[in-house]
Amino acid sequence: MILAGVLFACARSGLESFGEAGDSTSSGGGTGASGGGSKGCGDSVVEAGETCDDGNLAAGDGCSASCRAQPVLVAIGASFACALSSTGVVKCWGENGTGQLGLGDTGDRGDGPGEMGENLPPVELGSGRRATNLACGYQHCCALLDDGSLKCWGWNHDGQLGLGDTNPRGAGPAQMGDHLPPVDLGAGRKAVALAVAGRHSCAMLEDGSVKCWGQNFSGELGLGDANTHGSRPREMGDALGAVDLGSERRATGLVSGPSHTCAILDDWSVKCWGINSSGQLGLGDVVFRGDDAAEMGDALPAVDLGPRRRPTGMAAGISHTCAFFFPGALYCWGFNRAGQLGLGDDENRGDQAGEMGRELPQVDLGAGAVVEGVAPGFTHTCALLSGGIVKCWGGNDSGELGLGDRASRGAQPGEMGDRLPSVELGTTRWVKSVVTNELHSCALLDDGSLKCWGDNHSGRLGLGDTETRGDEPGEMGDALPALDLGF
């Protein structure tokens, strides 16, 4: 979840990815439509047995060498995950007790044989609709669609689906597809980015404003109160206020943890609000922000990032936050009991004065390491480095670091830098994006495949069993199966 933040930092957006690959239309007749009929896969014409045809036989560009769509974006919930294909199809697997897989039932998928691949149904989002972006929280997901609408499904106890009630969607028949209403963000308003985590959802709108709804115990909605929004009639649409980010300020990026939210603003400053028990807001104290009207807008301090004024990307974990800066330096703050900040100790950062800005150490990922993405989870963090390398550190009870053991990394001196091994994901393979959540991690690879490791409760790794991966030798690299998503 968290995942919204993770995707902002680690992967191209679904909108960008969709535009680059998997286009199933052709103009002017196309190669296969002229000169005597079909020429098969690679002719830019989608034919029987194909789900895409981008005019080449290369893999890893969203359309495989056999003209099957490939995943371009992954979002992880607490015990489940979803993938968006280059053709706008969404598929979800893992735990499904509240309909978070969007399949009209509550049966888990991916924990037994014969449940993945073409046997895994797509999420129905409406007649003729395709998804362009995707984010998941604890037990719910939201998708941006090709017509600019936004739809959410799964658990809805706190109104996180934004439908003016607390009824879950996706757990029973006639709840998805055309039956699933879009989220009302206000007259003429459309979302351009999502940040979904825990039990709340946020959207960045086309004018740079931000609206959030759902659980609000800690002020994570940024509305100056601690009331849920979206669980009752007449709380959404124009009645839902925008987050006050300060005079004439607008958001350019948005990330969320389960109980806190951060925005990158148009002046390159960063503002965070919500729970702050471990300093995850980066304000040098443990005072919550956003649950009182006098705490937002110009009264909300920007995070002191020192001379590193322009974050290239940012992501929020459950209780810690990370940002990276040109030319590839990574900084993390908040909860650190398992070493998830990667600083060689277990001391929190950002919860006391004098810990941010110039005093916040850079995460050491090795000589010459250039960070291109970051994915904070619960007690672990993964970073994507130049060259398609992934390194993970922090807690490792379920092998979520992907290092073939259960030993944590990052809480003791000498565990980071060049001494921290990279995650092995296969011979000659390199990583395009990485995402994490509580106890597992997933990576999209250069050939268009998807691999996941860590805890496998309810089949969240999508491998047709419940066996943990990455906690023992011989489980990673070429030995780690890629998911069969049947796109």
| Amino acid 272: pLDDT | 98
pLDDT at 11 over 80: no
Which domain does 428 fall in, by range? 3-17+52-479
| Amino acid 29: pLDDT | 33
Kindly report the CATH number assigned to the domain that includes residue 342.
Answer: 2.130.10.30
For the chain, how many structural domains are there in total?
1
What's the pLDDT band for 57 if we cut at 50, 70, 90?
confident
> What's the pLDDT tens digit per position in 373-390?
999 999 999 999 999 999
**Most confident range, picked from 29-33, 326-330, 398-402:** 398-402
Any idea what DSSP says for residue 333? E
Q: What is the residue type of 361?
A: P
**Sequence-separated (6 or more) residues with CB below 8 Å from residue 32:** 38, 39, 40, 43, 44, 45, 47
pTM of the prediction?
0.90
CA distances from residue 3 to 18, 187, 217, 341, 383 in whole angstroms, order as listed: 19, 28, 20, 18, 14
As a whole-number percent, the residues of the chain with pLDDT over 70 amount to: 92
pLDDT at 16 over 90: no
**Sequence-separated (6 or more) residues with CB below 8 Å from residue 42:** 53, 55, 56, 57, 67
39-48, 326-335, 359-368, 413-422: which range is least confident on average?
A: 39-48
- How far is residue 79's CA from residue 93's CA, in Å, rounded to a whole number? 9
| Amino acid 38: pLDDT | 46
> What's the pLDDT tens digit per position in 75-130?
999 999 999 999 999 999 999 999 999 999 999 999 999 999 999 999 999 999 99
| Amino acid 286: pLDDT | 98
Residue 39, domain member (yes or no): no
| Amino acid 307: pLDDT | 81
| Amino acid 293: pLDDT | 87
Neighbours of 60 (CB within 10 A): 18
Q: Which of 299, 140, 291 is nearest to 228 (CA)?
A: 291
Residue 131, domain member (yes or no): yes
Residue 30, domain member (yes or no): no
Residue 42, domain member (yes or no): no
| Amino acid 50: pLDDT | 86
| Amino acid 39: pLDDT | 67
> What's the pLDDT tens digit per position in 338-376?
999 999 999 999 999 999 999 999 999 999 999 999 999
Any idea what DSSP says for residue 201? E
- Cβ contact 135:196 at 8 Å: yes
- How far is residue 304's CA from residue 333's CA, in Å, rounded to a whole number? 11
- Region 1-30: mean pLDDT is 34
- How far is residue 335's CA from residue 257's CA, in Å, rounded to a whole number? 12
CA distances from residue 375 to 15, 123, 329, 370, 476 in whole angstroms, order as listed: 20, 25, 14, 15, 19
As a whole-number percent, the residues of the chain with pLDDT over 90 amount to: 84
Residue 434, domain member (yes or no): yes
Residue 43, domain member (yes or no): no
Residue 36, domain member (yes or no): no
- How far is residue 87's CA from residue 46's CA, in Å, rounded to a whole number? 11
> What's the pLDDT tens digit per position in 204-243?
999 999 999 999 999 999 999 999 999 999 999 999 999 9
Bin 39: left if φ > 0, else alpha if -120 < ψ < 50, else beta.
Answer: alpha
Q: Which of 461, 457, 466 is nearest to 480 (CA)?
A: 461
- How far is residue 122's CA from residue 485's CA, in Å, rounded to a whole number? 10
Residue 152, domain member (yes or no): yes
